Chain A
Amino acid sequence: MMAPATIALSILAATLLVAFGLCVRGARGATSLEQWSVGGRGFGTVLVFMLMAGEIYTTFTFLGGSGWAYGRGAPSFYIIVYGSIAYIMSYWLLPAIWRRATAWKVLTQSEFFARAYDSPALGKLVALVSIAALMPYLVLQFKGLGIIVSETSYGAISATTAIWIGTVATVVYVTVGGVHGSAATAALKDVLVLAAVLALGLLLPSMLHGGIGPMFTQIEASRPGFLTLPTSGLSPSWFASTVLLTVCGFYMWPHTFGSVFTAADGKAFRRNAALMPLYQLVLLFVFFIGFAALLAVPGLTGADVDLALLRVTKLTFGPWVVGFIGAAGLLTALVPGSLILMTIATTLARIIRAPVAGAPAVSATFARSLVPLLALLALFFTFQGGDTLVTLLLMAYSMVTQLFPALIASFVPTWRVPAAAAIAGIVIGEVVVAVSTLGNITLAAALPSWPAAITDINIGFVALIANVTMMLVVTLFTSSQEIRAQ
């Protein structure tokens, strides 16, 4: 009879090996930077779908989605809503981005902006925002990895050791496989996550509570009002404003923006716009897992709600199942983690070596050599940061969202927004984000006598409004003197 930790860990190790094999196999021929980072722009519908889906199902959705359902109830439903609306938008937005990116041969989001506004300065600013926002996101993947491995090893491997192993694995992935490796592993990840989430989401409610209906009845009995939105705090206006804000930010993540460039043709996005909302429904089962854990493993609070999924799995199933769930979780950290790391490396390599878009290609070797350094930096933050991680992630989301107005403005030729206006808007938006997040300022605290319907609005909106206002004011001010170069 093997110890539970041995069984679970063997499954984890085997998964890592299989994933590594897939990565090496998928990576053959990835020599140029264009091959390494955007797959030579040759990916079809299936691979683009896999990549984009892969970016959505990160450790944050796997652990955080169930954790939010467990800790907050109905407000967690916003997670399933914003993606669907973003996919509607993607039908028109992504082909438009793709057409330009392909014509301009750009590899990163910052080059895209530099080219759209004919402004290397704007490109540098976008690159800075990208890197500043992606770092905490990468740290979050590493933290999640540590939680998953230490929990599924029944404590045999400490979180610190797990994070080191995971980081080395991620670095090897990125260096060897590039985006081909990520895409190849994404398929394995999706199958495992899908199986894990569907199985747990269907089995746990019936095993622990006698079905989905009885589970919700028991939750409502012990926590009245937990399954609807409250009238203040995480209220309807919080819900709608947060959904709209996250929709604006959804494709502004540099690695998501970058995976648009991998498509062989614009049609892939149109098909995905119909497929992705259904795929997104997997999150429903993630919620079921969180709700099932609520009554079965009560008492987790604060950052510990993220442990809900793993704890309830360990309580209900044996080490074999725990091992497979851990393996799925491991891949939800590795695949997005590798894409994020690659995006940071490519962005940095391009600003160091090729400040002007369209300049001679930077060698993939240089971008690859940055990967271990960046991973070490992320490790440093991982071991430094405490509870501020969620704060950092929320700030990162608000930060990338500030790029949205400039992107949309660049598609409206009649507006003639000059680069200076785009830069001023982004800068003021980022300042508002930084001040409100770091100073922990909310509208409810700033305007105590105002009704909850207004003060519950996500403060990220204020930053976005400041951003757009600034952009328009500077545009009006400069339009008489400056004509944007086309």
Chain B
Amino acid sequence: MSDRSIARAVRWLALIPAIALVGAPWFANRLEPRILGMPFLLAWIVAWIVITSAVMALIGAVDSRHPPP
């Protein structure tokens, strides 16, 4: 795989948090287990927002080494 195609592949990672967040009520519409005192639904959302940030930072880092045309 060339560097350019790695950069293209990494971009698709952004779909994962997007699906996890839009689909949160199907994946996680529960009260238990509680995490840090929060209902599971809220904790799920918060966790995936943090992951969103990490994924976008990763995509940004890969893109800045291999800027898109």
We find that the number of chain B residues with CB closer than 8 angstroms to chain A is 33
We find that the number of chain A residues with CB closer than 8 angstroms to chain B is 37
Q: Which of A228-254 contact B (CB under 8 A)?
A: 228-229, 235-236, 239-240, 243-244
Bound-complex Cα distance A281 to B36 (A) = 15
User: Does A72 interact with chain B (Cβ within 8 Å)?
Assistant: no
Instruction: Please give, as numbers and ranges, the residues of chain A lying within 8 Å of B21 by CB-CB distance.
Output: 81, 84-85, 243
Instruction: Please give, as numbers and ranges, the residues of chain B lying within 8 Å of A273 by CB-CB distance.
Output: 56, 60
Bound-complex Cα distance A227 to B50 (A) = 21
Instruction: Please give, as numbers and ranges, the residues of chain B lying within 8 Å of A239 by CB-CB distance.
Output: 24-25
Contact of B25 among A240, A274, A278 (CB under 8 A): A240
Additional pairs, 7, CB under 8 Å, beyond known A84-B49, A84-B52 = A81-B21, A81-B49, A85-B22, A211-B37, A216-B38, A236-B25, A287-B42
User: Does B41 interact with chain A (Cβ within 8 Å)?
Assistant: yes
Bound-complex Cα distance A215 to B52 (A) = 28
Whether B23 and A77, one on each chain, are in contact in the complex, defined by CB atoms closer than 8 angstroms, is no
Instruction: Please give, as numbers and ranges, the residues of chain A lying within 8 Å of B41 by CB-CB distance.
Output: 74, 77, 227-229
Whether A81 and B22, one on each chain, are in contact in the complex, defined by CB atoms closer than 8 angstroms, is yes
Whether A229 and B25, one on each chain, are in contact in the complex, defined by CB atoms closer than 8 angstroms, is yes
Q: Which of B22-45 contact A (CB under 8 A)?
A: 22-26, 29-31, 34, 36-39, 41-42, 45
Whether A91 and B56, one on each chain, are in contact in the complex, defined by CB atoms closer than 8 angstroms, is yes
Bound-complex Cα distance A87 to B18 (A) = 10
User: Does A271 interact with chain B (Cβ within 8 Å)?
Assistant: yes
Whether A88 and B60, one on each chain, are in contact in the complex, defined by CB atoms closer than 8 angstroms, is no
Interface-central residue, B18, B26, B49, by most chain A CB under 10 Å: B49
Instruction: Please give, as numbers and ranges, the residues of chain A lying within 8 Å of B14 by CB-CB distance.
Output: 88, 91
User: Does A220 interact with chain B (Cβ within 8 Å)?
Assistant: yes
User: Does A441 interact with chain B (Cβ within 8 Å)?
Assistant: no
Whether B34 and A275, one on each chain, are in contact in the complex, defined by CB atoms closer than 8 angstroms, is no
Mark each residue of chain A from 271 to 314: 1 if its CB lies under 8 Å from any CB of chain B, else 0: 10111011011001001000000000000000000000000000
User: Shortest Cβ distance from B46 into chain A, in angstroms?
Assistant: 6
User: Does A105 interact with chain B (Cβ within 8 Å)?
Assistant: no
Whether B56 and A281, one on each chain, are in contact in the complex, defined by CB atoms closer than 8 angstroms, is no
Instruction: Please give, as numbers and ranges, the residues of chain A lying within 8 Å of B38 by CB-CB distance.
Output: 212, 216
Residue ID in chain A nearest B57 by CB atoms: A274
